[in-house]
Amino acid sequence: MAVEVRDVAPTEPAGPTEPPVPPDVPPVSPRAVLSRALAVPLVLGLVFLLPGVVAALPGPGIRDEAYWLQLVLTGYAGARLAAMTLTVRRRLIQGSFWMFVYVALGVAPLAQAVLGQTPTPVVGTRSDLVLATTLSLIGLVAYDVGVLLARHRPVLRNRAPRRTASVSRRRLYLLVALAFVASALFVVKLGGPAVFFSSRQEISEGIQSSGVAAADSESHVGSAFLRGFGTVPALLAFLFLTRWLVTSRAARRRPLVLLMWVGLLGVNALVNNPISNPRYWFLTVMFSILFTAFPKSPVMYRAALAMGVVAALLLFPFMDRFRYDESGHRPVESESAFDPLVRKDYDQIGMFANTITMVDSGTGHAYGRQLAASTFFFVPRSIWHGKPLDSGVRVGQWMGMQNTNLSSPLWAELWLDFGPVGMTGGFLGLGYLCARADRRYTVRTLDDPRPGNVLAIVIPVVAGYAFILLRGPLLQASGRIGIAMVCLALVTTFRSDPRKLLH
């Protein structure tokens, strides 16, 4: 009797332990592999075509060492972004990292160098700009080295199995209740729903008039807590319910779950819309929802990265329309698609150069004080006398700028605190952690279809929030991180009782 022999694809062992030998994830479906007809134009467009178009723009920019280093950085970032887009395995955090680098540290500064215009004045010498570009490139190489180290991390075969973090059903209901109450308090404090569809300027004025943050105070702890608790619990509760509905047929049959999901959809449309929130936070909202609703779709992952670059270059600068009311609004006038890149948010390389100039002028490195202020963001200045300002404000005040709401990219943050060695080591560790997180997310989302998989929510949120962390300043970004950690701790349990978990 003939016996049919079938090839069985290797799969991951069940349970929380990680596979002992590579490859570290199961085989992927054919849909995950992009055809050569699409892959080749993508690589050529990101690495050569778009930088070449920018470099060919007519402008009075100087073609010196800074220009050529910027061109190399753009090509390097384009190659890495293409690799993230073409990979058969979704790497959410790394993909977000390289998308930010390609746009904010690559194409935009290259356009500024060609056109001879910068959104923020570079007060130092040309050598400081050269050094800033060189250090940015060194940070990217260190990041990739960290990724390689994570890929070749030795496996401990005899280690004890880890307990799996899951979402408690009762605690999730508690988070949903907290989201409704906190968002309702946020709306009431600002004077009603109408203000959320006016402008960000009116939101800030509403927070000032609510008495939570005094207008003459340097501490923004009160306003950060009000904004954070009004927006973060609503987003996280919505993401947990979305995954529950996506992965569980039983949940879709429960009227209570559907009712909560619809209610939180309305709450997020109110408090997390692009009119009342900074654009980077709205990107976080959209990326986290997209990757949570489509956790296994390689098509959606590639579309998010590819369209993210297009949106950042063409649409993102014009979304500043909602920052001010009609009296303070200045329409963006541009003769080409690249003109907004020299007028808006892409001042990261220039601010890094200004940070280097400030340190060299005699202020010196902070040796961890800036990082300590970001870590203990919740301590008000009335208690912590001499608490450092966020790095962007500090550099802006040193420059004599009237508007000190400036960026401070992670490269500048690490340089200001720890110098070149600390910055390189920081990006080495960052690359390692990002690669480990992406790897674990890929394995757990493929092998663990549980609705209560906490990691399936955490990684999409981190991938979206990476834009804010990379742009900086860290002190401004810390508030929502702390609130998100409180919300995650609230719903997470390590018990294995299926009656108390999502199913």
Give me the chain's average pLDDT, please: 83
What domain range includes position 220?
A: 166-293+450-500
Percent pLDDT > 90 in the chain is 48
In a domain, 76, yes or no: no
In this structure, what token pair is assigned to residue 155? 């496996």
Indicate the pTM of the whole model: 0.87
Half-sphere exposure at residue 239, Cβ-oriented, CA atoms within 13 angstroms: 33
In a domain, 254, yes or no: yes
**Residue 465 · residue 210 · CB < 8 Å:** no
Evaluate the CA torsion angle 182, 188, 192, 196 in order and state its sign.
negative
In a domain, 79, yes or no: no
Which of 102, 42, 117, 109 shows the shortest CA–CA distance to 335?
A: 117
pLDDT on residue 334: 53
User: How many independent structural domains does the chain possess?
Assistant: 1
**Per residue in 363-416, pLDDT tens?**
889 999 999 999 998 888 888 888 898 899 999 999 999 888 899 999 999 999
Angle between helices 221-247 and 474-491 (to 10 degrees): 50
Q: Give backbone dihedrals phi and psi of 501, rounded to 5 degrees, phi first.
A: -110, 170
CB atoms within 10 A of CB 420: 15
Residues 6 or more apart in contact with residue 427 via CB below 8 angstroms: 139, 140, 142, 143, 146, 411, 414
**Per residue in 226-270, pLDDT tens?**
888 999 999 999 999 999 999 889 899 999 999 999 999 999 999
**Residue 300 · residue 341 · CB < 8 Å:** no
* Burial 36-58, CB ≥16 within 10 A → b, else e: eeeeeebbebbbeebbeebbeee
In a domain, 83, yes or no: no
In a domain, 215, yes or no: yes
In a domain, 118, yes or no: no
**Residue 89 · residue 442 · CB < 8 Å:** yes
In a domain, 121, yes or no: no
Q: Is the pLDDT confidence value at 16 over 60?
A: no
**Per residue in 315-328, pLDDT tens?**
766 666 556 555 54
pLDDT on residue 11: 43
Report in angstroms the alpha-carbon separations of 51 from 4, 82, 137, 250, 395: 55, 14, 16, 50, 30
Residues 6 or more apart in contact with residue 496 via CB below 8 angstroms: 164, 166
Half-sphere exposure at residue 58, Cβ-oriented, CA atoms within 13 angstroms: 2
pLDDT on residue 322: 57
Q: Would you give the DSSP letter of residue 295? A: T
In a domain, 10, yes or no: no
Half-sphere exposure at residue 2, Cβ-oriented, CA atoms within 13 angstroms: 3
